[in-house]
């Protein structure tokens, strides 16, 4: 079973270790799905757990060279697995995604996506495609999902999102033109909301929530 060094956490060297699925839980400990920790542990610990799962999954799925099929070797000098036969190097994969708050006067656009649990409303988000800048992606996702044009796109902050290997990059953007027209596939309903009448919004740890909290603080 694999063990990978993750770096230090509060000055203590930390490792990710895989155990057999039938391994007994040590006394006073429990195996838990990562997602269930989301609102229970603090952000630093959640990020470490996310990193552990991503590193183990990457190592597990890059044991053989994708070009020539030779067994790869873990590098001792950087986080990569290298093919000793053809030299192909694989780094841990990260899929950047953008998430954007669209602002119109003192209103924010919130959307209910088909995959959201219960009646939650969140921000427009999506994966960056090859050939796109982050700003291109913001514009494309918003046009595709709710049919409006935005401008004045500015960076808000980012968050690792280990489900399974994303980096969420948060933005604010101003409404430019168009009427809300949901795609009906991913987004089933979207509307403009004001700080005083928000629907159910995402949990505390998410960047979506941080952006919405920022909006409420600044637009109330």
Question: Rounded to the nearest whole angstrom, what is the least distance from the CB of residue 118 to Zn ion in the complex?
Answer: 47
Question: Rounded to the nearest whole angstrom, what is the least distance from the CB of residue 63 to Zn ion in the complex?
Answer: 12
Segment contacting Zn ion by CB under 5 A, of 26-34, 69-77, 118-126, 185-193: 69-77
Give the Å distances, CA to CA, from 78 to 5, 16, 92, 160: 11, 17, 11, 20
Candidate residues 49, 52, 55, 83; the one interacting with Zn ion per rule CB under 5 A = 83
Q: Are strands 73-74 and 81-82 parallel, antiparallel or unpaired?
A: antiparallel
Best CA proximity match to 150, nearest among 158, 140, 160 = 140
Cβ atoms of 126 and 199 within 8 Å: the answer is no
Helices vs. strands in the chain: H and E counts, helices first: 4, 11
Measured CA to CA, the distance from residue 174 to residue 101 in angstroms comes to: 8
Count of residues that bind Zn ion according to CB under 5 A: 8
Question: Rounded to the nearest whole angstrom, what is the least distance from the CB of residue 88 to Zn ion in the complex?
Answer: 5
Question: Rounded to the nearest whole angstrom, what is the least distance from the CB of residue 2 to Zn ion in the complex?
Answer: 20
Phi-psi region of 46 (alpha: psi -120 to 50; beta: other; left: phi over 0): alpha
Candidate residues 2, 67, 93, 149; the one interacting with Zn ion per rule CB under 5 A = 67
Candidate residues 85, 181, 204, 218; the one interacting with Zn ion per rule CB under 5 A = 85
Segment contacting Zn ion by CB under 5 A, of 64-72, 91-99, 183-191, 200-208: 64-72
User: Token pair of 29, please?
Assistant: 């400990």
Candidate residues 45, 86, 89, 200; the one interacting with Zn ion per rule CB under 5 A = 86
Question: Rounded to the nearest whole angstrom, what is the least distance from the CB of residue 79 to Zn ion in the complex?
Answer: 18
Q: Which is nearer to Zn ion, 19 or 86 (CB)?
A: 86
Return all residues near 165 (Cβ < 8 A) that are at least 6 apart. Answer: 54, 57, 58, 92, 93, 94, 95
Verify binding: residue 72, Zn ion, rule CB under 5 A. Answer: no
Binding site for Zn ion (CB under 5 A): 65, 67-68, 70, 83, 85-86, 88
């Amino acid at each position: 079973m694999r063990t990978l060094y993750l770096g230090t956490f509060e000055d203590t060297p930390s490792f990710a270790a895989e155990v057999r699925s039938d391994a007994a839980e040590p006394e006073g400990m429990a195996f838990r799905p990562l997602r269930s920790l989301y609102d229970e542990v603090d952000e630093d610990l959640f990020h470490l757990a996310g990193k552990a799962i991503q590193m183990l999954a990457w190592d597990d799925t890059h044991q053989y060279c994708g070009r020539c099929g030779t067994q790869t070797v873990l590098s001792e000098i950087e986080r990569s697995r290298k093919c000793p036969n053809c030299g192909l190097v694989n780094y841990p994969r990260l899929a950047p995604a953008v998430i954007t708050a669209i602002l119109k006067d003192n209103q924010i656009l919130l959307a209910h996506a088909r995959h959201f649990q219960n009646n939650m409303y969140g921000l427009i988000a999506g994966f960056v495609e090859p050939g796109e800048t982050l700003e291109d992606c913001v514009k494309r996702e918003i046009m595709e999902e709710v049919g409006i044009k935005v401008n004045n796109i500015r960076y808000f902050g980012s968050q690792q999102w280990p489900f399974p290997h994303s980096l969420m990059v948060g933005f604010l953007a101003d409404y430019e033109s168009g009427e809300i027209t949901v795609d009906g596939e991913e987004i089933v309903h979207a509307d403009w909301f004001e700080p005083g009448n928000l629907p159910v919004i995402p949990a505390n740890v998410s960047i979506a929530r941080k952006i919405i909290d920022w909006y409420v603080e600044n637009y109330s």
